[in-house]
Amino acid sequence: MPAYTIQPLLTAVAINTGGRNGHSETTDHSVSVNLSVRKEMGGPGLPNTTTPEHLFSAGYAACFGGAMEFLAHQKKQSVKDAVITCSTSIGPREGGGFGIAVKMHVKVPGLSTADAKALAQETHEKICPYSHATRGNIDFILEAEGQ
Protein backbone atom coordinates (compact mmCIF):
# COMPACT_ATOMS: atom_id res chain seq x y z
CA MET A 1 0.00 0.00 0.00
CA PRO A 2 1.47 3.38 -0.96
CA ALA A 3 2.00 6.09 1.61
CA TYR A 4 -0.81 8.66 1.56
CA THR A 5 -1.15 12.11 3.02
CA ILE A 6 -4.59 10.99 4.22
CA GLN A 7 -5.50 8.22 6.63
CA PRO A 8 -7.73 6.01 4.44
CA LEU A 9 -11.11 5.19 5.94
CA LEU A 10 -12.20 3.24 2.87
CA THR A 11 -10.48 2.09 -0.29
CA ALA A 12 -12.70 1.28 -3.27
CA VAL A 13 -11.12 -0.95 -5.91
CA ALA A 14 -12.45 -1.33 -9.45
CA ILE A 15 -11.17 -3.43 -12.32
CA ASN A 16 -11.76 -2.63 -15.99
CA THR A 17 -11.30 -4.81 -19.03
CA GLY A 18 -11.76 -3.44 -22.52
CA GLY A 19 -11.44 0.26 -21.69
CA ARG A 20 -14.33 2.48 -22.80
CA ASN A 21 -15.92 -0.40 -24.73
CA GLY A 22 -15.56 -2.91 -21.94
CA HIS A 23 -16.65 -3.73 -18.43
CA SER A 24 -15.88 -2.22 -15.03
CA GLU A 25 -16.63 -3.83 -11.70
CA THR A 26 -15.69 -3.18 -8.12
CA THR A 27 -13.99 -5.99 -6.24
CA ASP A 28 -16.86 -6.05 -3.71
CA HIS A 29 -19.32 -6.36 -6.66
CA SER A 30 -21.34 -3.32 -5.54
CA VAL A 31 -20.86 -1.77 -9.01
CA SER A 32 -20.85 -3.73 -12.24
CA VAL A 33 -21.27 -1.84 -15.51
CA ASN A 34 -20.86 -2.42 -19.20
CA LEU A 35 -19.32 0.52 -21.04
CA SER A 36 -19.64 1.78 -24.57
CA VAL A 37 -18.33 4.88 -26.31
CA ARG A 38 -21.32 7.03 -27.25
CA LYS A 39 -22.12 7.62 -30.90
CA GLU A 40 -21.44 11.37 -30.41
CA MET A 41 -17.83 10.39 -29.77
CA GLY A 42 -17.60 8.01 -32.71
CA GLY A 43 -18.34 4.81 -30.82
CA PRO A 44 -20.98 2.10 -31.13
CA GLY A 45 -23.30 3.59 -28.48
CA LEU A 46 -24.50 0.17 -27.39
CA PRO A 47 -27.79 0.05 -25.43
CA ASN A 48 -27.77 -0.59 -21.67
CA THR A 49 -24.23 0.73 -21.25
CA THR A 50 -22.73 3.73 -19.55
CA THR A 51 -19.64 5.89 -19.78
CA PRO A 52 -16.91 6.92 -17.34
CA GLU A 53 -18.39 10.44 -17.44
CA HIS A 54 -21.78 9.17 -16.25
CA LEU A 55 -20.09 7.32 -13.41
CA PHE A 56 -18.01 10.39 -12.54
CA SER A 57 -21.12 12.60 -12.52
CA ALA A 58 -22.98 10.22 -10.22
CA GLY A 59 -20.04 9.91 -7.85
CA TYR A 60 -19.24 13.64 -7.76
CA ALA A 61 -22.89 14.60 -7.20
CA ALA A 62 -23.22 12.11 -4.33
CA CYS A 63 -19.90 13.15 -2.80
CA PHE A 64 -20.72 16.85 -3.08
CA GLY A 65 -24.15 16.29 -1.54
CA GLY A 66 -22.66 14.32 1.34
CA ALA A 67 -19.97 16.95 1.91
CA MET A 68 -22.62 19.67 1.89
CA GLU A 69 -24.71 17.74 4.44
CA PHE A 70 -21.62 17.41 6.64
CA LEU A 71 -20.91 21.14 6.46
CA ALA A 72 -24.57 22.11 6.93
CA HIS A 73 -24.76 19.93 10.04
CA GLN A 74 -21.74 21.77 11.50
CA LYS A 75 -23.47 25.09 10.75
CA LYS A 76 -26.80 23.84 12.15
CA GLN A 77 -28.45 24.25 8.74
CA SER A 78 -30.71 21.74 7.01
CA VAL A 79 -30.10 20.57 3.47
CA LYS A 80 -32.33 17.50 3.81
CA ASP A 81 -34.07 17.96 0.45
CA ALA A 82 -31.12 19.39 -1.48
CA VAL A 83 -30.79 18.34 -5.11
CA ILE A 84 -27.29 18.17 -6.59
CA THR A 85 -27.03 17.97 -10.38
CA CYS A 86 -23.56 17.28 -11.76
CA SER A 87 -23.08 17.59 -15.52
CA THR A 88 -19.79 16.20 -16.82
CA SER A 89 -18.63 16.91 -20.36
CA ILE A 90 -15.68 15.43 -22.23
CA GLY A 91 -13.88 16.87 -25.22
CA PRO A 92 -10.54 17.68 -26.81
CA ARG A 93 -8.42 20.07 -24.81
CA GLU A 94 -5.91 22.68 -25.82
CA GLY A 95 -2.49 21.09 -25.98
CA GLY A 96 -3.82 17.68 -27.00
CA GLY A 97 -5.63 14.83 -25.39
CA PHE A 98 -9.02 15.07 -23.76
CA GLY A 99 -10.34 16.85 -20.71
CA ILE A 100 -13.49 17.03 -18.69
CA ALA A 101 -15.57 19.97 -17.58
CA VAL A 102 -18.10 19.97 -14.75
CA LYS A 103 -21.12 22.13 -14.02
CA MET A 104 -22.47 21.55 -10.52
CA HIS A 105 -25.96 22.88 -9.80
CA VAL A 106 -27.13 22.89 -6.19
CA LYS A 107 -30.74 23.53 -5.19
CA VAL A 108 -31.43 23.82 -1.46
CA PRO A 109 -35.06 24.17 -0.36
CA GLY A 110 -35.34 26.03 2.93
CA LEU A 111 -32.28 28.23 2.41
CA SER A 112 -32.09 31.61 0.75
CA THR A 113 -30.19 31.74 -2.52
CA ALA A 114 -27.39 33.68 -0.80
CA ASP A 115 -27.08 31.04 1.94
CA ALA A 116 -27.25 28.20 -0.59
CA LYS A 117 -24.49 29.80 -2.67
CA ALA A 118 -22.29 30.36 0.39
CA LEU A 119 -22.78 26.78 1.60
CA ALA A 120 -22.11 25.30 -1.85
CA GLN A 121 -18.99 27.44 -2.32
CA GLU A 122 -17.56 26.47 1.07
CA THR A 123 -18.36 22.82 0.36
CA HIS A 124 -16.44 23.07 -2.91
CA GLU A 125 -13.49 24.97 -1.45
CA LYS A 126 -13.04 23.16 1.87
CA ILE A 127 -14.89 19.86 2.22
CA CYS A 128 -15.64 17.81 -0.92
CA PRO A 129 -12.87 15.32 -1.79
CA TYR A 130 -13.82 15.29 -5.49
CA SER A 131 -13.48 19.07 -5.56
CA HIS A 132 -10.07 18.81 -3.91
CA ALA A 133 -8.96 16.14 -6.40
CA THR A 134 -10.04 18.07 -9.48
CA ARG A 135 -9.28 21.66 -8.43
CA GLY A 136 -7.20 23.39 -11.08
CA ASN A 137 -7.40 20.35 -13.37
CA ILE A 138 -10.85 20.78 -14.92
CA ASP A 139 -13.17 23.56 -15.99
CA PHE A 140 -15.68 23.89 -13.13
CA ILE A 141 -18.84 25.96 -12.80
CA LEU A 142 -20.79 26.07 -9.54
CA GLU A 143 -24.39 27.29 -9.49
CA ALA A 144 -26.59 27.36 -6.39
CA GLU A 145 -30.09 28.44 -5.57
CA GLY A 146 -32.32 28.42 -2.54
CA GLN A 147 -36.03 27.96 -2.49
User: pLDDT value at position 133?
Assistant: 96
Domains and CATH numbers, the chain: 1-50 (2.20.25.10), 52-146 (3.30.300.20)
User: pLDDT value at position 147?
Assistant: 86
User: pLDDT value at position 52?
Assistant: 97
Average pLDDT, the chain: 96
In the structure, what pLDDT confidence band is assigned to residue 102 with cuts at 50, 70 and 90? very high
Nearest to 111 by CA among 124, 126, 121, 101: 121
143 to each of 16, 67, 69, 106, 117, how far by Cα in Å?
Answer: 33, 16, 17, 6, 7
Q: What is the dihedral of CA 122, 128, 131, 135, to 10 degrees?
A: 70
Task: Say yes or no to pLDDT of 3 above 80.
Answer: no
User: pLDDT value at position 2?
Assistant: 65
Radius of gyration in angstroms for the set of CA atoms belonging to the chain, rounded to a whole number: 17
pLDDT per residue as tens digits for the range 112-131 = 999 999 999 999 999 999 99
pLDDT per residue as tens digits for the range 35-75 = 999 999 999 999 999 999 999 999 999 999 999 999 999 99
Task: Say yes or no to pLDDT of 141 above 80.
Answer: yes
Q: What is the DSSP letter of 96?
A: S
* pLDDT mean over 1-16: 88
pTM: 0.94
Q: Which amino acid is at 147?
A: Q
